[in-house]
A and B are shown apart, each in its own frame.
Chain A
Amino acid sequence: MDYAAVDYFFIYFSVFITSQAFCLNILWNTRGLRSQLKDSVPVTGLCPQAGPYGVQDSLRRGFSSVKNELLPSHPLELSEKNFQLNQDKMNFNTLRNIQGLHAPLKLQMEYRAARQIQRLPFLPSSNLALDTLRGTDDTIGFEDILNDPVLSEVMGDPHIMTEYKLGVL
């Protein structure tokens, strides 16, 4: 079930959805629903990231080695990388089962709109609308305490990040 491929929900431009009620639903989705979590951890995340010519871009990404790309360096690496994604998938599935297909479609459209409210690619964005929709605006996790990107010593190269964002890289 790939929600991203469903494009016809663009015709819904309604913003009157009571997202508060949906958020409450989503926050307390504690059942797990393992039966609905099909293969949600893509192992392809570790493959050498091929550039436009199909080989690894050594200048930008450094040298590659087969050992580094075959296995994750820590059992939690993959699950942590995809954690938010899997949570969203699980919540949308539950929502679909409870309220019907329209509910996750409308909510996903709001997510898409909120995700577009960003500053330039190399600057930190607050993601306030996205946080409010997800319900994470009043929770604290390790991502707020450890390795806060606002406090990092180095900054990403603005040119490369903007080119990547615009797709011309």
Chain B
Amino acid sequence: SRASRKRECRIMATVSVCQYHRGGFSFENCKRNALLEADINKLGFSSPAARKTGTTICGVVYKDGVVLGADTRATEGMVVADKNCSKIHYISPNVYCCGAGTAADTEMTTQIISSNLELHSLSTGRLPRVATANRMLKQMLFRYQGYIGAALVLGGVDCTGPHLYSIYPHGSTDKLPYVTMGSGSLAAMAVFEDRYRPNMEEEEAKRLVRDAIAAGIFNDLGSGSNIDLCVITKGKVDYLRPHDVANKKGVRTGNYRYKHGTTGVLAKTVTPLNLEVVEENVQTMDTS
């Protein structure tokens, strides 16, 4: 019918000049970027790399709650871009999220979900649940089919108890008692598999997470610097940043500066430079 054909035209012509354009991702430059990339690769250069958090992040559920841990190094290719970045992001007063992968993606995704969760909790009038945040994150990441490179460890305590989820960039999630993500995840997981046991005490859980992140820091090039910890219990959150400075920067032992008097002075002459004022004019600034 005419009405349905008109609607189809309207849908097809979304990016033309006749429609008020919507917000969101714009794919206008994708073809141009692909051509540029091909040309640059032909010349032998490479396009700039996105800043990643080649990372070790992990979380563990213990008796009263959840302990999340992360290292603090952000890399741009083979260069350390940030020696002390914060990878444990706030989602809600009782839910925190560690992010690995592309730094901008994890940052923006967690901020959007935090805003949505706040609006949702204002609408329901209750403290938000970890499962809600998990559901929102997985639906958004699946919608973008893995192009948003955010691998997350989501943990928190709500009315139903402590929960820990790991969320992969394509949108799959796992609900487990201990999880690790990032380039150093294998080193951290080895520590967890060796020493995890259910219903640990808080000090033991913190030690376990600290050792797992340290394993990632010392054995993986993409992780480094300090260890951040976040202990979430019912009604209380301890954000320990830094919990442990595993890699201290060294102190210089020597100095190349020469002391005064190292070179002896043999003779000294002083010549005063007399300057006379020839002309003086004042230009006012136009501040109207």
Contacts and interface: CB of A to CB of B under 8 A. Distances in A.
Given A49-B12, A85-B11, A160-B17, A138 B22 contact: no
A39 interface: no
B219 interface: no
Interface string B1-43: 1011011100111111111111111111011001000000000
Given A73-B30, A138-B123, A142-B25, A161 B16 contact: no
Contacts of B21: 147, 149, 152, 156
Interface in A63-97: 68, 72-77, 79-83, 85
B16 A49 contact: yes
A80 B119 CA distance: 24
A54 interface: no
For B3, B17, B116, B135, which residue has the most chain A Cβ atoms within 10 angstroms?
A: B17
A148 B25 CA distance: 10
B143 interface: yes
B144 A76 contact: yes
B116 A140 contact: yes
Contact of A74 (B27, B120, B135): B27
The CB with the most chain B CB atoms within 10 A, among A7, A85, A164, is that of A164
B90 interface: no
Interface in A1-17: 2, 4-5, 7
Nearest to B13: A49
Contacts, number: 117
Contacts of A45: 11-12, 14
A123 B19 CA distance: 11
A61 B17 contact: yes
Contacts of A85: 11
Contact of B115 (A72, A140, A164, A167): A140
A52 interface: no
A144 interface: yes
A139 interface: yes
Nearest to A49: B13
B172 interface: no
Contacts of A76: 25, 27, 144-145, 147
Contacts of B22: 143, 149
Given A45-B11, A124-B20, A141 B120 contact: no
A73 B27 contact: yes
A28 B109 CA distance: 20
Interface residues of A, number: 51
A160 to B, nearest CB: 6
Contacts of A30: 135, 139
Contacts of A80: 24-25, 27
Given A124-B20, A146-B24, A149-B23, A74 B30 contact: yes
Contacts of B119: 138-140
B245 interface: no
Interface string A26-58: 000010000000000010110101000000000
Interface string A132-169: 00000011111111111100100011001100110101
B207 to A, nearest CB: 38
B73 to A, nearest CB: 27
B144 to A, nearest CB: 6
B147 A141 contact: no
A124 B16 CA distance: 16
Contacts of A42: 8, 11-12
23 contacts: A4-B7, A5-B1, A7-B3, A42-B8, A44-B12, A45-B14, A73-B30, A73-B31, A74-B30, A76-B25, A80-B25, A121-B20, A123-B20, A124-B20, A140-B119, A147-B23, A147-B25, A148-B23, A149-B20, A149-B23, A161-B20, A164-B18, A169-B18
Interface of A: 2, 4-5, 7, 30, 42, 44-45, 47, 49, 60-61, 68, 72-77, 79-83, 85, 121-125, 138-149, 152, 156-157, 160-161, 164-165, 167, 169
Given A138-B119, A142-B23, 10 more contacts: A4-B7, A49-B13, A76-B145, A77-B27, A80-B24, A80-B25, A81-B11, A140-B112, A145-B108, A149-B22
